[in-house]
Amino acid sequence: MSYPENAILVLVDVTPTGEAASSTAALIGAAAQIGTPVALVVAPAGIAQAAVDAAASAGAVSVLTAEADASALTVPVVDALEAAYNAVQPDAVLVSNSIAGRDVAGRFAARTRAALAVDAVGLSRDEEGVVAHHSVFGGAYRVNSAATYGAPVITVRQGAVDARAEAQPLNVETLAVSPSGMPAALAGEVAIVEKASSRPELRGATRVVSGGRGLGSKEQFVLVEQLADTLSAAVGASRAAVDAGFVPQSHQVGQTGVSVSPQLYVALGISGAIQHRAGMQTSKMIVAINKDPDAPIFDVADFGIVGDVFKVVPQAIEALEARKK
Amino acid sequence: MKIFVLVKEVPDTYGDRRLNLETGLVDRNASEPVLDEITERALEVALEYADANPGTQVVALSMAPESATPSVRRALAIGAESAVQIVHDDLAGADLGLTAEVLAAAIRRGGADLVITGNVSTDGSGGVIPSMIAEHLGFAQLTALSAVEIGSGSVSGTRASDFGAQPVSAQLPAVISITEAFPEARFPNFKGIMAAKKKPLEVLSLADLGVQADPSAAPRTIMTSVSEKPPRAAGVKITDEGDAGAQLAEFLVQNRLV
Ligand SMILES: Cc1cc2nc3c(=O)[nH]c(=O)nc-3n(C[C@H](O)[C@H](O)[C@H](O)COP(=O)(O)OP(=O)(O)OC[C@H]3O[C@@H](n4cnc5c(N)ncnc54)[C@H](O)[C@@H]3O)c2cc1C
Ligand SMILES: Nc1ncnc2c1ncn2[C@@H]1O[C@H](COP(=O)(O)O)[C@@H](O)[C@H]1O
Within-domain flag for B222:
no
Q: Report the C-alpha gap between B91 and B88 in whole angstroms.
A: 5
| Closest CA relative to residue B96, chosen from A147, A313, A269, A66 | A147
Residue A195 confidence (pLDDT): 63
Domain that holds residue B10: 2-209
| A132, A135, A141, A145 alpha-carbon torsion, rounded to 10° | -20
Read off the pLDDT of each residue in A300-320 and give the average, rounded to a whole number: 97
Q: Which of B121, B128, B209 to mutate to test the pocket of ligand 2 (most atoms within 8 A of CB)?
A: B121
When the pLDDT of each residue in chain B is averaged and rounded to a whole number, the result is 93
Within-domain flag for B172:
yes
Question: Does A271 appear as a known binding residue?
Answer: yes
Q: Which atom of ligand 2 is nearest to the CA of B86?
A: 3
Residue B108 confidence (pLDDT): 98
Do the Cβ atoms of A5 and A88 come closer than 8 Å? no
Give which of A15, A137, A325 to mutate to test B binding, by max B Cβ within 10 Å: A137
Q: Residue whose CA is closest, atom 51 of ligand 1? A: A275
Angle at A274 between CA A265 and CA A102, to 5 degrees: 80
The percent of residues in chain B predicted with pLDDT above 90, rounded, is 78
Residue A194 confidence (pLDDT): 67
Chain center to CA of B255: 41
**Span from the CA of A296 to the centroid of ligand 2 (angstroms):** 30
Q: A56 to chain B, minimum CA–CA distance in Å?
A: 23
A178 touching B (Cβ < 8 Å): no
Interface of A with B in 23-62 (CB under 8 A): none
In chain A, list all ranges with CATH 3.40.50.1220: 207-324
Highest mean pLDDT among A183-187, A257-261, A279-283: A183-187
Read off the pLDDT of each residue in B221-239 and give the average, rounded to a whole number: 91
The percent of residues in chain B predicted with pLDDT above 70, rounded, is 100
C-beta atoms surrounding A245 within 10 Å: 10
Q: Report the C-alpha gap between B2 and B138 in whole angstroms.
A: 17
Q: Which helix (H) or strand (E) covers residue A136, if one does?
A: strand A129-136
| Closest CA relative to residue B188, chosen from B73, B49, B64 | B73
In chain A, list all ranges with CATH 3.40.50.620: 7-174
Which residue type occupies A187? A
B166·A188 Cβ contact <8 A:
yes
- pLDDT-derived band at A192, boundaries 50, 70, 90: confident
Read off the pLDDT of each residue in A244-267 and give the average, rounded to a whole number: 93
* Residue A188 predicted with pLDDT over 90: yes
A285 contacts in chain B (CB < 8 Å): 255, 257
- pLDDT-derived band at B125, boundaries 50, 70, 90: low
Q: What CATH code is assigned to A7-174?
A: 3.40.50.620
Residue A139 confidence (pLDDT): 84
Q: Which residues pair with B204 in a beta bridge?
A: B86
DSSP conformation letters of B21-35: TTT-SB-TTTS-EEE
Q: A28 to chain B, minimum CA–CA distance in Å?
A: 19
Ligand 1: lining residues by beta carbon, under 6 Å: A 212-214, 238-241, 252-257, 269-271, 273, 275-276, 279, 289-292, 295, 308-310; B 13, 37, 122
A222 touching B (Cβ < 8 Å): no
CATH of the domain at B57: 3.40.50.620
Residue B135 confidence (pLDDT): 98
Read off the pLDDT of each residue in A39-56 and give the average, rounded to a whole number: 95
Contacts of A176 (CB under 8 A, 6+ apart): A83
Alpha-helical segments (H) within B79-126: 96-110
Within-domain flag for B251:
no
| Closest CA relative to residue A208, chosen from A185, A187, A180, A229 | A229
A106·B135 Cβ contact <8 A:
yes
* Residue B257 predicted with pLDDT over 70: yes
A207 touching B (Cβ < 8 Å): yes
Q: Which helix (H) or strand (E) covers residue A42, if one does?
A: strand A36-43
Read off the pLDDT of each residue in B216-232 and give the average, rounded to a whole number: 90
Residue B139 confidence (pLDDT): 98
Q: Which of A121-125, A199-203, B199-203 has the lowest mean pLDDT?
A: A199-203
Cis peptide before B183 (omega within 30 of 0): no
Residue A158 confidence (pLDDT): 92
When the pLDDT of each residue in chain A is averaged and rounded to a whole number, the result is 95
| Closest CA relative to residue A103, chosen from A202, A8, A11 | A11
Q: What CATH code is assigned to A207-324?
A: 3.40.50.1220
Contacts of B40 (CB under 8 A, 6+ apart): B7, B75, B78, B184, B185
Do the Cβ atoms of B30 and A137 come closer than 8 Å? no
Q: Which of B7-21, B88-102, B147-161, B220-234 has the lowest mean pLDDT?
A: B7-21
pLDDT tens by residue, A231-242: 999 999 999 999
pLDDT tens by residue, B48-86: 999 999 999 999 999 999 999 999 999 999 999 999 999
A196 touching B (Cβ < 8 Å): no
| Closest CA relative to residue B217, chosen from A237, A150, A51 | A150
Considering its fold, how many domains does chain B have in total? 1
Within-domain flag for B239:
no
Chain center to CA of B131: 13
- pLDDT-derived band at B216, boundaries 50, 70, 90: confident
* Residue B17 predicted with pLDDT over 60: yes
* Residue A196 predicted with pLDDT over 60: no
pLDDT tens by residue, A68-115: 988 999 999 999 999 999 999 999 999 999 999 999 999 999 999 999
Do the Cβ atoms of B225 and A143 come closer than 8 Å? yes
* Residue B12 predicted with pLDDT over 90: no
Pairing of strands B221-228, B9-11: unpaired
Chain center to CA of A214: 27
Q: B214 to chain A, minimum CA–CA distance in Å?
A: 12
Pairing of strands A116-126, B236-239: unpaired
| A86, A89, A92, A95 alpha-carbon torsion, rounded to 10° | -40
Residue A197 confidence (pLDDT): 64
Residue B11 confidence (pLDDT): 85
Q: At what angle do helices A75-88 and A99-112 cross, to 10 degrees?
A: 60
A140·B228 Cβ contact <8 A:
yes
DSSP conformation letters of B132-188: HHHHHHT-EEEEEEEEEEE-SSEEEEEEEETTEEEEEEEESSEEEEE-TTSPPPPPP
* Phi, psi dihedrals of residue A147, rounded to the nearest 5°: -85, 145
Q: Report the C-alpha gap between B133 and B175 in whole angstroms.
A: 8
| Closest CA relative to residue B14, chosen from B27, B32, B28, B29 | B32
Within-domain flag for B234:
no
A146·B224 Cβ contact <8 A:
yes
